[in-house]
Homo-oligomer: A and B are copies of this chain.
Amino acid sequence: MAQRVGILTGGGDCPGLNAAIRGVVKAAAGLGWEVVGIRRGFEGLLPPHDTRALTLESTSEILTLGGTILGAASGGRFAAKTGHGEAGRLPAELIRETQQSIEKLGITALVAAGGDGTLSIAQQFFEAGTPVVAIPKTIDNDLQATVITFGFDSAVACATDALDRLQTTAGSHGRVFVLELMGRYAGWIAIHAGIAGGADVILIPEIPFRYEAIARQIEKLEKLGRNFALIAVAEGAREEGGEYAVKGPMRADKEAQLGGIGERVAAEIKKRCGKETRTVVLGHLQRGGGPTTFDRLLATRYGVAAVQMIAEKQFGMMAALRPPDIVAVPIKDAIGKIRTVPPDGNVVRTARALGISMGAASELA
């Protein structure tokens, strides 16, 4: 059956989204199907509809392009309904209204590319009868049910490049540099980039840290003749036992009050070790820019898989990487709980074996 596929990208932008869109369009074209791009996430489905036709021609130069040509939602009726670990329920009225839009637009199947929030909405539409399939996307790599999401390799590459740059200037000046990276609840970017970029200390939300442990690591390096140090810190890292230790999702405005964790770590190191210390907050640079080769391929494969799932009527399913294959898994397996860095897992043990401090109290023993 010829389909008219609607595609939307939800949540923050992420390198590879356009490659995924192009994958959907190319695979759909091969089957003789049409594709409708929906702007600003699910919001674009609400009247007045905000859509554009996506053709081989209009998507021919987007493979390498960062961001999303469909735009990201900001506010709106779908906003704040869902969040990490605690999916909100959409009002039945909103679902009904949106389904009427989908019908009116002639969309016969929906592809939703997004993270926890977007997938949670997609699942609710699936449960309400909409034929939807999903493509996982997070910079943070904290989604369940897939080995990896696109955008993550690009973000790690950006963070590692920043560590490389700081390495040379840190060494020249004998300074400590603190690089604050994305990762409010999961430290994947920090630990991957930290290892790949030769960091001396890596602080992640999953392992509450002690300033004493960091200071000890810097002293240890000095004894080895190293007068500089690099610290990779996830934005969600927290001091052990401190009042800001992660107990549950923290509200963004409270976060803002506290000031950046990078600055606080730098100030404390300066105080404790007397070292010249500088902070760089990488921020949005991590999510901007074009995808790495790895992410281009992965996103393209997800896009193609989404179309194949529609062809096979595998609705309510999400494309996932089970190397070397892309497989279909239930959307519901991916949502509701984020995937964090196991504190005693393979990657953390690797970091420790390399002599990297995780700032943990156990290191002080």
Measured CB to CB, the residues of A under 8 A from B are: 12-13, 23, 26-27, 29-30, 56-57, 63-68, 71-72, 74, 147-148, 153, 156-158, 160-162, 164-174, 177, 192-193, 195-198, 224-225, 276, 278, 280-281, 283-285, 287-290, 292-294, 296-297, 300-301, 304-305, 307-308, 323-326, 345-347, 350, 352-355
Contacts and interface: CB of A to CB of B under 8 A. Distances in A.
Given A162-B285, A177-B284, 9 more contacts: A26-B353, A57-B225, A66-B165, A156-B297, A168-B289, A195-B297, A195-B300, A281-B281, A292-B294
Contacts of A308: 353
Given A157-B292, A293-B156, A347-B324, A74 B168 contact: no
B355 A26 contact: yes
B177 A67 contact: no
Please state the number of chain copies in the assembly. 4
B285 A198 contact: no
29 contacts: A23-B354, A30-B353, A30-B355, A56-B224, A57-B225, A66-B165, A67-B172, A68-B172, A71-B174, A72-B172, A74-B173, A157-B292, A160-B296, A161-B293, A162-B285, A164-B288, A165-B285, A166-B284, A166-B285, A168-B290, A169-B288, A193-B293, A196-B293, A196-B300, A292-B294, A294-B294, A304-B353, A324-B346, A324-B347
Nearest to A308: B353
A165 B160 CA distance: 15
A288 B165 contact: yes
